[in-house]
Amino acid sequence: MISAWKACCGRIPQRWVFAVMGFLALFNAYAMRVCLSITLTEMVLPPDPTHNNDNANICKREEEYHNTPKTVTPNTTKSSSDAELYDWDGMTQGAILSSFYWGYVVTHVPGGILSEKFGGKHSLGLGILATAVFTLITPVVVKYGGSTGLIIDRVLMGLCEGTTFPALNALLAQWTPPEERSKIGSLVFAGAQLGTVFANSVSGMILHYSPIGWPAVFYVFGSVGIVWYLIWLVTCYNNPDSHPFISEREKDFLRERMQDHTHKKPPSVPWRHILTSVPVWALITAQVGHDWGFFTLVNDLPKYMSNVLKYSIKSNGLLSALPYLTMWICSVVTSCLADWMITSGVMSRTNVRKLGTTIASLGPGAFILGASYAECERTTVVIMFTIGTTLMGPFYPGMKVNALDLSPNYSGTLMAIVNGIGAFSGILTPYIVGVLTPNETLTEWRIVFWIVFGVFVVTNIVFILFASGEVEYWNDPEFIRREREEKKMKIKNEPTQVQKTVP
């Protein structure tokens, strides 16, 4: 059976099969994570305009939205599809949107350690499977548990999905030769953007046409996640040596290109070196900046489109998805350009990472801020958001693959630390938006976007000054083993030295 599979599939480069399935892993992970952002606008009762006297800061409703208004009542009611609507205020909605990240930050480091020790296949696969199950049961949880049940469900989803990036990075370290790192890494990480595109656009269409209303969104995305897991089980493996039907030619190629810096059984994680590494902290800072802007848009752009610009749910889904589609295109183009610049010697790997991160920080910050000053000019606002989010694309050949540069051997743990700390932005940003925009006015949202711009600028300056694209000295297993042996010998000899000094 295996020989038949090898004859059939051996000609297909298995590193690219992994890349596609890794892309689909993030695609599903982000689709299940993000679908709540737009669905929440249809789960809750619309804000009561009579509570806001600042009419100068409120946009008029879209024509289509006029024709299908929601009934505003003080308590839980039913929509036209018989799906329940809930009276959750802005603070409650912020808690619901941020609750995913409460669990998400917890499992990053354990996920990274497990992935490096046992391989990333099952850490990643089982995490996505469990997230899919919790997505499927969301309507039932909300029906019987209300906002509290939904928060608990989202925390559990976050716990399951926290292993995703560390496991993927551990797998990337085994499957990507240095000269293809930007392309394959950017392809895999681009699943986040296209998953967001898919979640927003498809959710909008489901909410518009589904006879059962918002529960259908969770049934669709949960089912897709389970199907992905079944395919993942039979197509992807921890490393080339354990793959049953990879060609010998590809296995030899990967072994030859990666043997200098990627080892099967490196020593345990050198925590002291990692936590005192200046390039690592520069990378963490850049990740915080990226996540602050990205999570603000992912979690709250549908809310801005619905409650501020007054777009209908169908338009909201499509327009909220558009920026992430163009961001994906930009990441693909710039990743190919980045690999060419590195291999042809046009620019060093370090400077390529810094250039990509700078474009992806200052560009989005400026255009997102500019969108808030376009006020109710809907076309201008959409164009500004689209250009700003598009310019986030170079983050992927910039800082997102930088953990693989610094330490291929400990890339899972490194990604766990970097992405885990960055994920705290996902906890803070929905809460800050909820606090700063109680009335959903343009002026209130402008403060939110000024904060995004400031975070982008400060974190990018740190990355420019201290980042590196070169392999760190503590990635070398021999260095770590030698250092630990010297430490053991020193401890062993200390009692003898003390005895000699005693008269």
Assess if residue 258 is contained within a domain.
Answer: no
Instruction: Please name which of 13, 197, 112, 17 lies closest in space to residue 420, comparing C-alpha atoms.
Output: 112
Number of domains in the chain: 1
Assess if residue 282 is contained within a domain.
Answer: yes
* Domain span including residue 92: 13-48+71-239+274-495
Assess if residue 376 is contained within a domain.
Answer: yes
Distance (Å, rounded) from C-alpha 291 to C-alpha 421? 10
Assess if residue 1 is contained within a domain.
Answer: no
Distance (Å, rounded) from C-alpha 400 to C-alpha 396? 5
Assess if residue 20 is contained within a domain.
Answer: yes
Tens digit of pLDDT at every position of the chain (503 positions): 455 555 556 578 888 999 999 999 999 999 999 899 889 888 988 766 555 555 556 666 655 444 444 444 434 444 445 667 888 887 888 889 889 999 998 998 888 888 878 888 999 999 999 999 999 999 999 999 999 999 999 999 999 999 998 899 889 888 888 778 778 887 888 888 888 888 888 888 888 888 888 999 999 999 999 999 999 999 999 888 888 888 888 888 888 877 665 656 778 889 999 999 999 999 999 999 999 998 888 777 777 877 777 776 667 667 777 888 888 889 889 988 998 998 898 999 999 999 999 999 999 999 999 988 988 888 888 899 889 989 998 998 899 889 888 988 888 788 889 988 988 888 888 888 888 888 888 888 999 999 999 999 999 999 999 999 998 989 888 888 888 888 888 887 766 554 555 45
How many angstroms separate the Cα of 237 from the Cα of each of 119, 255, 487?
8, 16, 37
CATH number at residue 115: 1.20.1250.20
DSSP label at 44?
A: B
Residue 417 burial (C-beta neighbours within 10 Å; 0-12, 13-18, 19+): buried
Assess if residue 406 is contained within a domain.
Answer: yes
Distance (Å, rounded) from C-alpha 42 to C-alpha 206? 11
Assess if residue 253 is contained within a domain.
Answer: no
Assess if residue 502 is contained within a domain.
Answer: no
